[in-house]
Amino acid sequence: MFTFGHSSGEIGAAHFRGKVFSNINTNGAMIAVGLGAEAAQTYLGGYEGRIVLACHNAPVMIIARTVKTGGKAYHSFHMKPAADIYNDLMHEASSHLKNCPRKSIAAFMVSPVTNTALDSARPLDADYRCANLVSPVKFRQAVQTIGSCPVFKYVDLIVVEIRPLSALKGPVKQMCREHKFDKMSCLPTIKRGGNSASQLFNLAGQLFLNNFSLDYERVTAIEETSPPDKIQIGKGKLLVDLPIYQWNYVKELWAEPRRSKEQRAPQNLRHNVLGSHMPGGSKNEPTWRNRLRQIDLPWLKHHSLGGEAVFPAARYFGMATEAVTQMKETSSSPVEIRGYTLHEVITKAALVIPDDTDGIETLQSAAKRPHRLLPAMTQRATRKAWNQALKDVGFDYGPSF
């Protein structure tokens, strides 16, 4: 875990800070500029001692800046009088805190003042905090130092911005693009104009999704203040008997048969003529099942032989080509099909479709060729002669054919 700050956000003694700054009588201002420090420096020639760079936020953003700051130019020489008073107050406070127990924090702090890692065992002294007031904020450099750590080449780095509005997400994104920090992202705590509680819950949820360990009982607890100004924490109860750990998807524990998987998520929709692929069968010899009914396919009535609806021979060809297409599309090495050529097709019997609600069930299977191909015929028939021959034996085609 790393920590780094921006501006006086590092300073914990907030009321000392307010007391000191109220005594500053200088007339200063600050302005936000959409430039990097190097580019902004080229415009400051001849203004030494009057304009200084206050915050190095991002490659194309510094703060020099015109923002409502009560006439005070922070992180500049204007803060020198306040720094002297602040130094005395910090030394006075430190003398009272020498005997107070310190809580050990397992976190590394990178200073935006010095751009170096600070010793976690050593408290920040008054000199450092005073330097924070008069020195430029090297936020960009601190983020770059943390992001360049070798460990973040392999694990995600989540930057949590702890402040009442999200202002540093943009600068962090700029640095991620410039330095190719692919595993770095920034999460805000509270955004302007939103519900604070919902946003903090959203932050906890985002950290949970990124596998961070949180005190979830404290996150979901209800805090109430009761006299005399004591905070009581009410914790909820587990309502459902579900695991209280993050899901681990590395090893799949659910064993589902192929038949169930193919039936639950078929790769092809049902075809009107071929039907649906039967799940669980051989991949080398797949089977399709269908139920042909005149009520579902009205054009069957137009293909009549002796007053009965006979399944057209051309539809057999369509069923075969559709079956081959589905097999190739779902195979481990799909190929592009540009067309089909049919040779020596024999129709052994007519398929009569009854005019009732049951229809007729069909099963079509793909299999290897059981015998060698027959030799090619030596004669060709014209379309007109073929149609006349069919008419002579009783085929009576309707307008659809």
pLDDT in tens, 10-20: 454 333 445 55
Axis-axis angle for helices 80-97, 126-134 (nearest 10): 160
Domain annotation covers residue 317: yes
Strand stretches in 41-146, DSSP E = 55-58, 61-65, 108-110, 117-118
What pLDDT digit, counting tens, does each position of 283-303 carry?
888 999 999 999 999 999 999
- Determine, yes or no, domain membership for 169: no
Contacts of 335 (CB under 8 A, 6+ apart): 328
SS3 185: strand
Query: What is this structure's pTM?
Result: 0.46
Whole-Å CA distances, 251 to 141, 155, 199, 265 = 40, 20, 33, 22
End-to-end CA distance of the chain: 76
CATH number, domain containing residue 361 = 3.10.129.110
pLDDT computed for residue 65 by the predictor: 45
- One DSSP character per residue, 353-399 reads --SSSS-EEEEEE-----SPPPPPPS----HHHHHHHHHHTTEEE-T
Spell out the residues 6+ positions from residue 247 whose beta carbon is closer than 8 angstroms to its own.
Answer: none
CA 317 to chain centroid:
46
- Which residues are paired to 287 by β-bridges? 365
Residue 94 lies in a domain: no
The answer to the question of residue 335 being in a domain is yes
Three-state secondary structure call for residue 9: helix
Q: Give a yes or no: residue 296 inside a domain.
A: yes
Q: Is residue 249 part of a domain?
A: no
Residue 203 lies inside a defined structural domain of this protein: no
Query: How many domains is the chain partitioned into structurally?
Result: 1
pLDDT of res. 126: 76
Q: Where are the alpha helices (DSSP H) in 102-221?
A: 126-134, 139-147, 169-179, 196-209, 216-219
- Rounded to 5 degrees, what are φ and ψ at 75? 60, 40
Interval 223-263: pLDDT, tens: 777 766 677 777 777 677 776 666 777 777 788 898 998 89
Low-confidence ranges of the chain (pLDDT < 50): 10, 12-17, 65-67
Residue 84 lies in a domain: no
- CA–CA gap between residue 46 and residue 35 (Å, rounded): 19
Q: What does the alpha-carbon distance between residue 262 and residue 61 come to, in Å, rounded to a whole number? A: 55
Nearest CA to 168 among 148, 154, 153, 188?
Answer: 188
Domain that holds residue 289: 270-371+380-397
Strand pairing category for 61-65 and 360-365:
unpaired
